[in-house]
Amino acid sequence: MNFQSKILLPKILLLAAFLFSASLNAAELKIGYVQVDKILQEAPQTAESGKKLEREFGPKSQELDRMQKQIRDIETVLDKDRLTISETDRRNKERDVSSLKIEFQRKQRELREDINLRKNEELANLQDRINKAVQTVSEADGYDLVVYSGVAYASKKIDITDKVLKLLGKK
């Protein structure tokens, strides 16, 4: 036996013992799997969150729609009366439209930012509720390990997604 074999053999034996021990322990584990994407789509809290955001940002969105219509109306009048109004009036109206467009873009950007912040807050709240539901189901059913989406394969017999949805009030 050469020097490399003397070093390699104990490592191989140690690895084999570890794998054998892990396979014995794995037989005793109860493992579950949760499809987070399915929960995010089907949980009633997702729809509630969407409606809540709609109610919260609906008035601002309607204001932007009115503002956009106002800009179009002024541009239409300006195009129609371009030949009949004085140069000064035309410039003043073009300046007014330009100012309105800038204000519209600013308000639109602010609304998008506000909506994104609130969506993230709502998503964080929903994720907390999902995590608590997963933990409750896992503890109640005696699971040792529960993994989320992103696994290569999960058997239907370890999928506890429907139990979590039931706890969240879906089924």
Q: Answer yes or no: is pLDDT of 18 > 70.
A: no
Does a structural domain hold residue 96?
yes
**How many domains does the chain fold into?**
1
Q: Answer yes or no: is pLDDT of 86 > 60.
A: yes
Task: Provide the mean pLDDT of the chain.
Answer: 83
CA atoms within 13 A on the CB side of 67: 19
Tokens of 129: 């509720």
Domain limits at 39?
29-168
pLDDT digits (tens, 9 = 90+) for 98-112: 999 999 999 999 999
- Give me the mean pLDDT over the 142-155 stretch: 81
Secondary structure class of 65 (helix, strand, coil)? helix
Q: What is the pTM of this model?
A: 0.65
pLDDT digits (tens, 9 = 90+) for 47-63: 888 899 999 999 999 99
Does a structural domain hold residue 143?
yes
In this structure, the number of other CB atoms found within 10 A of the CB of residue 167 comes to: 19
- Would you call 101 exposed, middle or buried from its count of C-beta atoms within 10 A (0-12, 13-18, 19+)? middle
Strands 145-147 and 31-33, bridge-based pairing: parallel
CATH at residue 69: 3.30.910.20
